[in-house]
Homo-oligomer: A and B are copies of this chain.
Amino acid sequence: MQKAVYTITPDDLALFTDLYELTMLQSYFDAGLTGEAVFSLYLRRLPEKRNYVLACGLSDVLDYLETVRFSDEAIAYIRSLGGFSERFLAWLGQFRFDGDVYAVPEGTPVFADEPILEVVAPIAEAQLVETFVMNQIHVQSMHASKAARVIHAAEGRAIIDFGGRRAHGLDAALKAARAFHIAGVTATSNVLAGYRYGLPVAGTMAHSYVEAFDSEREAFWTFARSHPDTILLVDTYDTLAGIDNVITLAEELGPEFRVRAVRIDSGDLADLAKEARTRLDAAGLGQIGIIGSGGLDEYEIAKLVADEAPFTGFGVGTAMGVSEDAPSLDLVYKLCAYGGVGRVKLSPDKPIYPGRKQVFRHELDGTAKSDVIARLDEELEGRPLLEPVMRHGARFPGVTKELNTIRDYARKEIERLPARLRSLSPANPPYEVEISGELADYTEIVRSRHR
């Protein structure tokens, strides 16, 4: 049962579901529940340290919905668990997702209670896909939202994703790189992410390279021979001595010297960068950039920028790679209609809004002022955010997979937010999201049925 090397194949994806989805499907099948369900995916609340969440991951969800199938091997495994009828398993073998999906485009800033997507499909289809849909929108939206803060803090300086080694597993490293690109990150160090998504990849040298030589000078000299346009890591032994070694290398190589930048990974980054800048400039190496790294997050970067530390870019690893201060989003996927009738759980904390919905974003002079969550058939002022993205299991051709298009869209959408939402501090006041009168009334009607 265990494969020699860990991989995920398309056949595996149908099994990437919670067991209860399958037990519920068996029971829907037994009871003949084939009516149309509406499931809504939304955030119950924003993380404390996020003023908005950048919705991301739709493309992977649509790819999955178009292709999810149970292989014979998968069916055999489900059979082995017991409790499933042969008739149901035969039906499962023919399972296809044939539903419709409405979603906000990837790269849209969203707020609590706003549907990120709504699935409209026979209940079994909409139910089964819950686990995968949540997993992928969750991880990518979480990563994009964190990266947007880092980008903002860097005020135009390059940000390079160094997070793959501490991302949670292989998929997270790749999906993070995708989400980071959408949020505006310059490049990733992860080669597979570059390959899969066509992203710029970046990287230079590690301390281990420098240590493998008898001296740092020898290491720099050797590396620059292999990679003339490189970035040299200068803090293995003594950062400023490292800078002096770069200057010596420039003198030795003369016109052949093409090193693009140095990287400082430890110590007092602001002080070291300032002194490094002074020494490089004095040596006529004003063209050499300075990259900072080593445990950076948006707060540290904002501080370095405020201190006028002369960094031209930053490598950001763990803090962004695991979204350290908000490693999860309170994202849920809730049934809100079945058989054309609104349905909700009676939640003790806050209401779930029944039926299909639309979000209208009201803008003034190009700046978002407030959103209204409304019933689908309402026509309110503002720009509707949800659009059809899949019909009868087929992705709309207009839904782009082009990451640079999504990145451009995200940048524009973030620029349209009030400035206080881009701040690293909690927005005061937070962004205003209202529930339309009609939706509030309908919610009360549906809730009252079960009280």
Instruction: Name the one of B5, B16, B22, B238 contacting A346, with C-beta atoms under 8 angstroms.
Output: B238
How far apart sit A19 and B205, CA to CA, in the bound complex (Å)?
9
- Verify if A67 is at the interface (C-beta below 8 Å from B): yes
How many angstroms from the CA of A113 to the CA of B60 in the assembled complex?
40
By a CB distance below 8 angstroms, the chain B residues around A327 are 168, 322-324, 327
Task: Contact check, B338 vs A139: say whether CB atoms are below 8 A apart.
Answer: no
Q: Do A164 and B131 form a contact, CB below 8 Å, given A9-B7, A37-B212, A123-B212?
A: yes
Within 8 A of B (CB), among A81-139: 81, 83, 123, 127, 130-131, 134-136, 138-139
B30 near A226: Cβ-Cβ < 8 Å: yes
Q: Which of A188-196, A246-254, A381-389 contacts B (4 or more CB under 8 A)?
A: A188-196
A318 closest partner in B (C-beta): B328
Residue of B nearest to A9 (CB): B7
- Cβ contact within 8 Å between A202 and B346: no
- A317 → chain B closest CB, angstroms: 9
| Known A20-B205, A204-B20: A236·B139 in contact at CB below 8 Å | no
User: In this assembly, does A15 line the interface, its C-beta being within 8 Å of a C-beta of chain B?
Assistant: yes
Q: Is A440 an interface residue (CB 8 A)?
A: no
User: Quick check: B203 and A15 within 8 Å, CB to CB?
Assistant: no
Q: Is A8 positioned at the interface, with any CB of B under 8 Å from its CB? A: yes
Closest chain B residue to A81, Cβ basis:
B201
Against B, the Cβ 8 Å flags (1 = close, 0 = not) of A337-363 are: 010000111111000000000000000
Please tell me if A206 contacts chain B, counting CB pairs below 8 Å.
yes
Known: A9-B7, A13-B5. A27 touches B202 (CB 8 A): no
Bound-state CA distance A13–B173 (Å) is 12
A12 at the interface (CB under 8 A from B): yes
Q: Which chain B residue has the least Cβ–Cβ distance from A323?
A: B327
Q: Is the CB of B189 within 8 A of A15?
A: no
Q: Is B198 a contact partner of A2 (Cβ separation < 8 A)?
A: yes
CB-CB under 8 A for A201 and B16, given A27-B226, A123-B212, A168-B172 = no
Q: Nearest Cβ in chain B — how far from A420, in angstroms? A: 27
Given contacts A22-B191, A134-B165, contact A207 B335 (CB under 8 A): yes
Q: Is the CB of B266 within 8 A of A223?
A: no
Structural contact, A165 and B450, CB atoms closer than 8 A: no
B20 touches A189 (CB 8 A): yes
Quick check: A209 and B27 within 8 Å, CB to CB? Answer: yes
**A195 touches which of B1, B139, B191 (Cβ 8 Å):** B1
Is A334 touching B81 in the complex (CB atoms < 8 A)? Answer: no
B164 contacts A16, C-beta separation under 8 Å:
yes
The answer to whether B19 touches A225, judged by C-beta atoms less than 8 angstroms apart, is no
CB–CB B198/A164 < 8 A: no
Query: Is the CB of A279 closer than 8 A to any CB of chain B?
Result: no
Q: Are A135 and B165 in contact (CB under 8 A)?
A: yes
Bound form: Cα–Cα A212–B35 in Å: 9
Q: Which residues on the B side are within 8 Å of A138 (C-beta)? A: 165-166
Select A134's contact among B37, B130, B166, beta carbons within 8 Å.
B166
Whether A23 and B166, one on each chain, are in contact in the complex, defined by CB atoms closer than 8 angstroms, is no
Cα distance A27–B232 in the bound complex, in angstroms = 13
| Cα of A135 to Cα of B170 in the assembled complex, Å | 7
In contact, A345 and B207 (Cβ under 8 angstroms): yes
Given A23-B227, A227-B23, A266-B347, A212-B33 contact (CB < 8 Å): yes
**With contact pairs A18-B165, A20-B204, A191-B16 given, residues A227 and B26 touching in the complex (Cβ less than 8 Å):** yes
Q: Which 5 A-B pairs have the closest CB atoms?
A: A19-B203, A169-B171, A20-B203, A168-B168, A208-B335
> Would you list 6 pairs from A and B whose C-beta atoms are within 8 A, ordered by A residue?
A15-B191, A22-B191, A22-B203, A24-B209, A123-B208, A236-B345
Other than the given A169-B170, A211-B335, 17 more pairs (CB < 8 A) read: A4-B63, A4-B67, A6-B63, A15-B195, A18-B164, A18-B165, A18-B191, A24-B205, A24-B209, A26-B226, A123-B208, A135-B166, A207-B335, A236-B346, A237-B346, A266-B347, A318-B328
